Amino acid sequence: MNSDTRLLELEDLRKWFEIRRGFLSSRVNYVKAVDGVTFSLEEGKAVSLVGESGSGKTTLGKTILRLYEPNGGRILFQGKDITHTKVKDLKWYRRMASLVQQDPFGAFASHFTVFRALEEPLLIHNTVKSREERAERVFKALEEVRLTPVEDFAYKYPHMLSGGQLQRVAIARAIILEPRLIVADEPVSMLDASVRIEILTLLRRLQERLRLGVIYITHDLATTRFFSESALIMYAGHVMEKASTREVLRNPLHPYTKALLIATPDPNPQNRSRFKEVPPGEPPALVDPPKNCRFSPRCPRAFDKCFKEEPPEFEAAPGHWVKCWLYERS
Ligand SMILES: Nc1ncnc2c1ncn2[C@@H]1O[C@H](COP(=O)(O)OP(=O)(O)OP(=O)(O)O)[C@@H](O)[C@H]1O
Ligand SMILES: [Mg+2]
């Protein structure tokens, strides 16, 4: 990867939440929600972040956006270290990186029209001075997300819109400050199945047209095929596998990724029979987890070492990384 085109780099990033057993207890435990994540994203490319509930996807997304401060590692954005930049100095980054959340129904103040909701970031960041120019930007953003004719939508209130339309407004709000990075956290999981593909296609089109970096968070490995260049498979705060999306889907290596693929019905019965090992059980508790492979209690292929030592990431094929002892070369 050419360093000039590198948008985001994470180096051994950690976000641990501190918890205390009792109000007066001095004993501190940590929920290790993101525990040593390394990857980079090029300008204008999309990466899928896939994993079961509780694997740390949202925490990673919010840490990247610096809505949480990391406990360790580094975040570089366009080469600039923002790991511990103070909140008051993060205003430019708030413009450059934005979030689309899962729930479009809770994303807007009920007394704001669509116009007002989209104007808000422009007012906060004071990037566009005149009212005419702000209106122009709002209408342009509505056009980008295909809410046309724009005048019909601009003066509506949130309760007058469907979930799909609201999510389009949320995307318009996310792009209005012309960011370079969008974190889309399960952007379609609360929408009717009929509009999911439309919204994902819209995001993908915007990503390509505006040359946005996109982090697409999902449970659904199947949708990543069309919406990202690369994929990161997360489990219990760790990245278990990372490679191009094509490679992960065509040649999944980690037993966990294989299990995720079984959970995703494949229309081709020949592919279905490839993975018979559905591991039962739940992800482990992340409060001070043991130093072994976090998937080992559920893994059908686990052996001695897996229960004792945490594997590093092995490069099983060029650009295809797996955090699994099965891929250790002796
Ligand atoms: N503010 C917090 N304080 C303590 N623990 C937290 C906090 N936020 C998240 N966690 C814990 O961190 C772990 C990862 O949570 P996270 O929400 O990032 O998972 P996720 O992969 O986004 O899950 P889902 O698919 O359900 O959205 C969970 O064990 C969760 O309980
Ligand atoms: Mg989440």
Name the residue at shortest CA distance from atom 31 of ligand 1: 54
Q: What is the CATH number of domain 3-254?
A: 3.40.50.300
Q: What's the whole-model pTM score?
A: 0.92
**What ranges do the domains of the chain cover?**
3-254
State the pairing for strand pair 46-50/213-218.
Answer: parallel
Contact 232, 242 (CB under 8 A): yes
pLDDT for position 330: 60
Q: Which residues contact 242 (CB under 8 A, 6 or more apart)?
A: 39, 230, 231, 232, 233, 248, 313, 320, 321
Name the residue at shortest CA distance from atom 18 of ligand 1: 56
Angle between helix axes 114-125 and 163-175 (nearest 10 degrees) is 20
In whole angstroms, give the CA distance from residue 246 to residue 229: 8
pLDDT for position 280: 66
Q: Which residues line ligand 1 (CB under 6 A)?
A: 17, 31, 33, 51, 53-59, 219, 286
pLDDT for position 27: 79
Q: Kindly report, residue by residue over 29-46, the tens digit of the pLDDT.
A: 889 999 999 999 999 999
pLDDT for position 264: 62
Which ligand has the nearest atom to the CA of 35? 1
In whole angstroms, give the CA distance from residue 240 to residue 229: 17
pLDDT for position 278: 47
> Which ligand 1 atom is nearest residue 52's CA?
25
Spans in the chain with pLDDT lower than 70:
1-3, 23-24, 263-280, 330
